[in-house]
Amino acid sequence: MPRLILTVLLALSLAACTSEQPRGPVVLAAASLQDALTAAADAWAAQGHARPTLSFAGSPVLARQVESGAPADIVFLADERWMDDLDAKGLLAQGTRRALFGNRLVLVAPVPDNQPVSTQDFASLVHNLGDQRLAMADPDTVPAGRYGKAALVSLGLWDAVKAKIAPTENVRAALALVERGEAPLGLVYDSDLFASSRVRLAAALPASAQPPIQYPVAILAGSKNHDTHAFLDFLSSSQAAQIFQHFRFTRLAQQ
């Protein structure tokens, strides 16, 4: 009898192993991609594929995770510079890197706003900050912060505002400061404004001051998941482009 029980338990164990659901690819993605990429992963899973596992953080954090050997399949950053670094270190699968989407910067204020903004002029709003803070991603390390600094420099505002910056580890953290009313203004992506009902557009940046913002994606050299290439192809498809455009990203020509 004990041997029979052992045989049954072994059979059940083997059946459990063979019926185990397949795992989707692990994707390390920039924080600003959270809503759009989550929707894209849902659409992919709805087609019968194993749903990708998504992990969001600032691009510098993600790059360090990849360098440390994080068990992931795809990296999707908000910055070409960090991707260049990973590429130079041989951490990307050759021929898989591409820039899929773009974004633009906007100035946001809290909703409701106890001190309504009376102007839609970007320069005036920044100059009128007084002793208050401008929330934005860290301009020294985070792509959204670097883009923001470039815009402020282009407008001749950086020297006047740099001491008033409340730097954050990623753009969603800057958005959160404005949502909580801890900063009266925040410099974030247009997609962040779309994703939050707790902030409103305070001012649009002049088109001439908008730096080129690109989101590169690539398969990691150590990827072993059989769905990785197919999911990357899906992200490059017109269906995924419609999803990202819904969240206010722009589609870039395939590179």
- Considering the domain architecture, whether residues 115 and 235 belong to the same structural domain is answered as no
Tell me the residue range of the domain where 80 lies: 23-102+213-251
Residues 97 and 169 occupy one common structural domain: no
71 and 114 share one domain: no
CATH of the domain at 59: 3.40.190.10
| pLDDT tens figures, 105-163 | 999 999 876 555 545 688 888 878 888 999 999 999 999 999 999 999 999 999 999 99
Domain assignment of residue 5, yes or no: no
Instruction: Answer whether residue 10 is part of any domain.
Output: no
Place of tokens 């795992």: 23
Q: Can you give the pLDDT at residue 14?
A: 41
How far apart CA 37 and CA 13 sit, in angstroms, is: 35
pLDDT at 114: 57
151 plus 221 within the same structural domain:
no
Residues 35 and 93 in one domain: yes
Chain mean position to CA 89: 22
* 220: confidence class by pLDDT, cuts 50, 70, 90: very high
Token pair of 200 as six digits: 């409103």
Query: Residues 144, 158: one domain?
Result: yes
Question: What is each CA distance from 220 to 90, 143, 161, 224, in whole angstroms?
Answer: 9, 20, 39, 9
Q: Which residues of 60-92 are buried (b: 16+ CB within 10 A; e: fewer)?
A: bbbbebbeeeeebbbbbbbbbebbebbeeeebb
Residue 17 within any structural domain of the chain: no
Structural domain contains residue 18 = no
Helix axis angle for 238-246 and 228-235, nearest 10°, is 60
Domain assignment present for 229: yes
- Give the model confidence (pLDDT) of 159-182 as tens digits: 999 999 999 999 999 999 999 999
Same domain? For 94 and 161 the reply is no
15, part of any domain: no
Q: Are 188 and 97 in contact (CB under 8 A)?
A: no
Please tell me whether residues 53 and 143 are part of one structural domain: no
Tell me, yes or no, whether 53 lies in a domain: yes
Question: What are the pLDDT digits (tens) for 9-31?
Answer: 444 444 444 445 789 999 999 99
pTM of the model: 0.84
Q: Is the domain of 205 the same as that of 110?
A: yes
In a domain, 98, yes or no: yes
Position 70 scores a pLDDT of 94
Report the share of the chain in percent with pLDDT over 70. Answer: 88
Look at 255 and 36; give whichever has higher pLDDT: 36
Does 184 lie in the same domain as 113?
yes
User: What local confidence, expressed as pLDDT, does residue 130 receive?
Assistant: 84
In terms of domains, do 94 and 168 share one?
no
Q: Are residues 64 and 147 in the same domain?
A: no
Domain count, the chain: 2
